């Protein structure tokens, strides 16, 4: 899994039948030191994440191991909203204290 920030959404009406009803988020990758990277993924939301949320996401077959995405053509999922993370004992991110995004 990687850390990312939800930065937008994608809308599509003409899509594979078993993609219906899934919300598609644009997630920009973050370093573990809370810096934005150029990489992004389009990921299905299963935790009601919104723009500006720092999240945990993954790509690959693990994306289909949640109830809403089971057996669907999903190759990106946001599976958690992050509260805090620390590196070397130092808090890098805290959802309740952070007012501004790094992006």
Examine residue 71 and tell whether it contacts its own copies (CB under 8 A).
yes
Among residues 21, 48, 97, 99, the one that binds its own copies under rule CB under 8 A: 48
List the one residue out of 92, 62, 61 whose CA is nearest residue 80: 62
- CA-nearest of 85, 97, 35 to 56 is 85
CA atoms within 13 A on the CB side of 16: 7
| Beta-sheet pairing, 76-81 with 54-59 | antiparallel
Interface residue with its own copies, options 21, 38, 97, 99 (CB under 8 A): 38
Count of residues that interact with its own copies, criterion CB under 8 A: 61
Per-residue interface string for the shown chain with its own copies, residues 50-69, x marking contact by CB under 8 A: -x----x-xxxxxxxxxx--
CB of residue 35 to its own copies, shortest distance in Å: 10
């Amino acid at each position: 899994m990687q850390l990312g920030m939800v930065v937008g959404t994608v809308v599509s009406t003409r899509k594979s039948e078993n993609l219906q009803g899934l919300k598609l988020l644009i997630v920009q990758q973050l370093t573990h030191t809370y810096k934005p990277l150029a990489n992004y993924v389009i990921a299905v939301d299963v935790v009601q994440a919104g723009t500006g949320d720092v999240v945990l996401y993954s790509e690959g077959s693990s994306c289909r191991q949640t109830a809403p995405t089971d057996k669907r053509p999903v190759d990106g999922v946001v599976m958690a909203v992050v509260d805090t993370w620390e590196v070397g004992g130092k808090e890098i991110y805290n959802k309740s204290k952070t007012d501004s995004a790094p992006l």
